Amino acid sequence: MPLTDGWAVVVDCIVWAVWSTGVGYVMHRRPVSAFDHDTFWTRLRSFEADGRFWERTVRIKRWKHRLPEAGDFFDGGFDKKRLHGDDPAALERFVVETRRAEVTHWVVLAAAPAFVLWNPWWLALVMATFAVVANVPCLITQRYNRARLVRILARRARRSA
């Protein structure tokens, strides 16, 4: 039985909420060691220029503070709204948590094509647009913060060598 547009939107909202929360929980439960290294998806690219690309192109400093932070939504999670110290261990842990958050947002975003299964094409397009608008700013913010922290850690390592 096909869904009316109104019910499809209700189902969409429920699916997004359950999927996002479920992915967040699964990623939260993954060990730190799963995110202590870069992968193809999380590796910083040369065009990002230590985060300066994001400053120039999307003016990230103007809006990143407005994004919600759910890293500590589950018990034992990591709040990325502020640094938890400036020693190398604290900065490295923050880097790890930016990878965790980035992977989480990539996986949430990957669900967008599934919405064509029960939505008319135009509503599936709306849901895909929502996925991009809700996740890409968070992805960019994680990459920007990680680039800045990696730069700081490298500078400190050079100074102490």
φ/ψ (deg, to 5) at 72: -110, 25
Spell out where 15-110 has E strands.
none
Based on the structure, what is the number of domains in the chain?
A: 1
pLDDT in 10s for each residue of the chain, 161 residues: 678 999 999 999 999 999 999 999 999 999 999 999 999 999 999 999 999 999 999 999 999 999 999 998 999 989 999 999 999 999 999 999 999 999 999 999 999 999 999 999 999 999 999 999 999 999 999 999 999 999 999 999 998 87
DSSP 119: S
This prediction has a pTM of 0.93
Q: For residue 119, how many other CB atoms are within 10 A of its CB?
A: 20
What is the residue range of 111's domain?
Answer: 5-160
Q: Where do runs of H (alpha helix) occur along 58-87? A: 60-63
Structure tokens at 74: 């589950």
